[in-house]
Chains A and B, each alone.
Chain A
């Protein structure tokens, strides 16, 4: 079978990913596997493969751990196994497990975009949204300008 990424070399590596219960598979040659997993550094913006790594190596579903979320009763081992939060507080209580998982899976851990009206009074949040867009669309001058603006506002707030 040929590599599904380059369509040229013979596939030597097989990947499987599970997104929201939808399982899909990929056959890759070693060069493409290297490129897709290594070439993106630690940024994790290769969703196809990173979600696979995310589920298996970041969450470590085999691990137990006796912690339990006091709000919803979610245990550490169940959280690792299901990759689901049981309530809003789980994101605090299991931050050490979920933050790296979110990072590999989403390539980011900082929200950009709309917020409920009651949260919108913060001008820094609005600027952060713009900064995210600027970086995503590779407008680095604009991004630098926004970053300075955010630093300035944050300095004023403190």
Chain B
């Protein structure tokens, strides 16, 4: 089995990297398609993958049933969009979840590659390889001037949306976000709360992604993303150091209490779990805690969400606490 999930650096501040390419198949419109047409397109994608048997053997194709529980779980895992979960379509994904091709989004095909930490280059390389495989077998909507054609003009050209999920609790808590957002905006990037509107418990995760897809090459977009992400990471680190200077006791108190809660709680809701995990990440990065890799805490961030745990609310809180105790077993407070 091959690994499609990429790995990168800055794991204590960058949770995940995602590269997504939008493509449309020639001969189909972008609206009013039914499941039958999406099945035809999914079959084309599947057949194209079979031309590279070594790669194809790692992929499985599943129907995403509109509004199903499985579809909701795929959304939580960032494998499909909420839109696809609602409408239904097809998902062709690698066994490790690192590479996924969604059929039936706003665009016929969305190919995405995921990684942990900051790894846009690595993700792009894999995405390019997979896209090349599809393109060698499937005629796509492409225009010499506008590039790859997409339903929304904001994806035209490269069809590339590259993003990094950043953990920015101190910038968020002390009002540094608007300034950082406008800085990112001037670089051609947007910053969004990771779990969108309507969900309060975001755990201070923000997604930085390119806004411009046309007139820049894939490599230029990726390089700019790395620069922008590094800039934001530096800003968060600086804000943390300022906080340490201002109120070291207050900060270390919160970090150490969070570690205690993670290691001992018997019943914990999502909001408190996310808050504690957030402080644990700060503690690991700032040298108050050690013993657990930051990416394990990042992964726990995802795993404690209700849809993935299942069961009733009460059962989930107990399950969540047990899971967190296991994750934080080796977490140590440094004096």
Considering only CB atoms, which chain A residue lies closest to B218 in the complex?
A113
Interface footprint category on A: 35 or more
What number of B residues sit within 8 Å (CB to CB) of A? 53
Encoded as 1 (CB less than 8 Å from any A CB) or 0, chain B from 172 to 201 comes to: 000000110110011010101000110000
A136 at the interface (CB under 8 A from B): yes
Encoded as 1 (CB less than 8 Å from any B CB) or 0, chain A from 57 to 99 comes to: 0000000000000011110000000011111100100000010
Encoded as 1 (CB less than 8 Å from any B CB) or 0, chain A from 89 to 133 comes to: 001000000100110011111111111111100100100010011
**Chain B contacts with A in 269-327, Cβ cutoff 8 A:** none
Q: How far is the CB of A99 from chain B (nearest CB, A)?
A: 9
A112-B216, A117-B135 known; A91 vs B143 contact (CB < 8 Å): yes
Contact A72 B32 (CB under 8 A): yes
30 A–B contacts from the bound complex (CB under 8 Å)? A7-B178, A19-B211, A20-B152, A46-B186, A51-B211, A72-B29, A72-B30, A73-B32, A74-B31, A83-B152, A84-B30, A85-B149, A85-B150, A86-B151, A87-B29, A87-B31, A98-B153, A102-B153, A106-B215, A108-B157, A108-B215, A111-B146, A111-B214, A112-B216, A113-B219, A116-B140, A132-B217, A133-B217, A133-B219, A136-B220
B158 at the interface (CB under 8 A from A): yes
A22 at the interface (CB under 8 A from B): yes
A-chain residues with CB within 8 Å of residue B8 when the two chains form the complex: none
B67 at the interface (CB under 8 A from A): no
B213 at the interface (CB under 8 A from A): yes
B132 at the interface (CB under 8 A from A): yes
B144 at the interface (CB under 8 A from A): yes
A158 at the interface (CB under 8 A from B): no
Considering only CB atoms, which chain B residue lies closest to A89 in the complex?
B29
A-chain residues with CB within 8 Å of residue B212 when the two chains form the complex: 47, 106-108
B69 at the interface (CB under 8 A from A): no
B128 at the interface (CB under 8 A from A): yes
A contact residues vs B (CB 8 Å cutoff): 4-5, 7, 19-20, 22-24, 26, 45-48, 51, 71-74, 83-88, 91, 98, 101-102, 105-119, 122, 125, 129, 132-133, 136-137
A-chain residues with CB within 8 Å of residue B178 when the two chains form the complex: 4, 7, 26
Contact B142 A119 (CB under 8 A): yes
B-chain residues with CB within 8 Å of residue A23 when the two chains form the complex: 197
Contact B144 A105 (CB under 8 A): no
Contact B196 A22 (CB under 8 A): yes
B330 at the interface (CB under 8 A from A): no
Q: Please give 17 more A-B residue pairs, beta carbons under 8 A apart, in addition to A19-B154, A85-B152.
A: A4-B182, A7-B178, A22-B190, A26-B178, A51-B211, A84-B152, A86-B31, A87-B30, A102-B153, A108-B216, A111-B143, A111-B146, A114-B217, A116-B135, A132-B215, A132-B216, A136-B216
* A48, A88, A106, A115: the one within 8 Å of B24 (CB): A88
Across the A-B interface, give the 7 residue pairs with the lowest CB-CB distance, nearest first: A108-B215, A111-B147, A48-B185, A4-B178, A113-B217, A72-B29, A87-B29
CA distance A129 to B140 in the complex (A): 19
B-chain residues with CB within 8 Å of residue A119 when the two chains form the complex: 142, 144
* B139, B151, B157: the one within 8 Å of A84 (CB): B151
B-chain residues with CB within 8 Å of residue A136 when the two chains form the complex: 215-216, 220
Q: How far is the CB of B323 from chain A (nearest CB, A)?
A: 31
Contact B146 A102 (CB under 8 A): yes
A-chain residues with CB within 8 Å of residue B136 when the two chains form the complex: 117
CA distance A88 to B244 in the complex (A): 55
Contact A48 B216 (CB under 8 A): no
Contact B182 A110 (CB under 8 A): no
Q: How far is the CB of A38 from chain B (nearest CB, A)?
A: 15
